[in-house]
Amino acid sequence: MLQGAKLVEGEVTETVQLLPLAVGALVAALAGYLAVKWMLALLQRGSLKGFAIYVWVLGLGIIVAQLLGYW
């Protein structure tokens, strides 16, 4: 947030190196491609019933944790 304010005011003097930025973008693209490929294979093999149960349990657990003040 503070960097954004400095950017608007024209006070940012930091630079971003191109190589780490390019490697990060490439790794993110590869991870996204593999995730989509895995999800499509999962959909072709069967249902998402197990995934739906996992999401419900995780969601309820997060709600309970928030109500108890852990988050």
pLDDT range class, residue 27, cuts 50, 70, 90: very high
As a whole-number percent, the residues of the chain with pLDDT over 70 amount to: 82
For the chain, how many structural domains are there in total? 1
Task: From residue 63, give the alpha-carbon distance in Å to each of 50, 54, 55.
Answer: 20, 14, 12
Over range 40-59, report the average pLDDT. 89
pLDDT range class, residue 58, cuts 50, 70, 90: very high
Give which of 71, 9, 38 is closest to 63, Cα–Cα. Answer: 71
| pLDDT recorded at residue 51 | 84
Q: Domain of 55?
A: 2-67
User: Distance between CA atoms of 7 and 14, rounded to whole angstroms?
Assistant: 10
What pTM was estimated for this model as a whole? 0.54
